[in-house]
Every structure is written in C-alpha cells, then in structure tokens.
Amino acid sequence: MFEFFRKLSPREKVLTLAASIFVGGALLFGAVISPLLSSQGRYQNLAERQLENLQQFRELAAEYLALSRTLEEMEVSLARKTTGTSLLAAMEGEARKLGLADKITSMKPLSRDLESGMLETSVELKIEKINLAEITGFLKAVEGTDLMARTTRVRLKTRFDDPQLLDATILVMALEAA
C-alpha cells in the first residue's frame, strides 16, 4: 500500500490524503460524534420532562397537604358538633319555618359508613308546586344549619298545569362523626 502511495505524484498524494482525512472525519462524525450529540439531546429532553414531573409532583403534594389539613379540621369540627339533630329533622324543621311542609311529597333518608370512619347521611327530598325563590330560600336555610350540610343535586321540572311552579328533587348530604 505504501508502494502505491510512493508512485503517486505530489498532487495525487495531496488529494488522496485530503480524501482520506475527509472520509475518516465523516466516519468519526457518523460513528462517534453524531450519536453522542443525539443522545445528549435525548437526555436533555428527558431531564426537562423529569423536572416538569417533579414540579407537578410538588404541586400535587402541596394540594394533598392542604386537603389533608382541611379534612382534619372538618373531623375536629364534626367531633365537636353536639347538636344531636339529624339531617332529616333539620330539613323538616327548615321546611316548616319557611311554610313548605305541606308541599313536600317525600323525604328519603340515606346513610353510609365511609372508610375514614365518618358517617355520610343524605336526604332526598321531593317538593311539588314550589317557585324558584322558595327553593333557593330553602337551600340557603338548610346549608346554613350547624350540620354543615351541602346540596349535592337539584333537579327541577316545570309543571304542566302552572308553568310558574316547579317540582323539585333535592339531595342534601352531611357528614357526621361515627
């Protein structure tokens, strides 16, 4: 091979050497440098995604801690609550105060034990021939009781005989210490 190189003219030697350097450089770039650069970019993208995941995790952890504190505060306030009044009785009392007792067609109490050791009580209430102002007044009165009740569902239907009046189905839920 060196014999072949010696037979070449100086101009051919320079061209052959330049071509060899170019081919060697291309092989070096293609086999070593390019994979390193692409893996560096891939690892950089992966690191950025992991930083985003870490930030999301921190946000979720802060939200979890806030919700956990809120739950602890609710459990403490529920444990202190000694009204002794059930949700059904409170709703019935509020309906009497507002003059809605005769419009109630049914009250169905429900309860279930939660994993946290609390008792979830709810009452499904059906009221007929009521206007919107009476419904909102009733809901405000029920949610304003010491039972920390929350309205979870309200379904309203207009009446065919009088479009100014509504039939309402209301589901109210409260938590109690078991």
pLDDT digits (tens, 9 = 90+) for 114-157: 776 677 788 888 988 888 888 888 888 887 776 677 888 889 88
The listed range with the strongest mean pLDDT (18-32, 48-62, 105-119, 120-134) is 48-62
Residue 40 domain boundaries: 2-78
Asked if residue 134 and residue 173 are part of one domain, the reply reads yes
CATH number at residue 92: 3.30.70.60
Asked if residue 168 and residue 118 are part of one domain, the reply reads yes
Asked if residue 91 and residue 73 are part of one domain, the reply reads no
Structural contact between residues 106 and 126, judged by C-beta atoms closer than 8 angstroms: yes
Q: Say what the pTM is.
A: 0.54
User: Where among 21, 52, 78 does a domain terminate?
Assistant: 78
Asked if residue 43 and residue 21 are part of one domain, the reply reads yes
User: Where among 78, 107, 136 does a domain terminate?
Assistant: 78
Asked if residue 73 and residue 38 are part of one domain, the reply reads yes
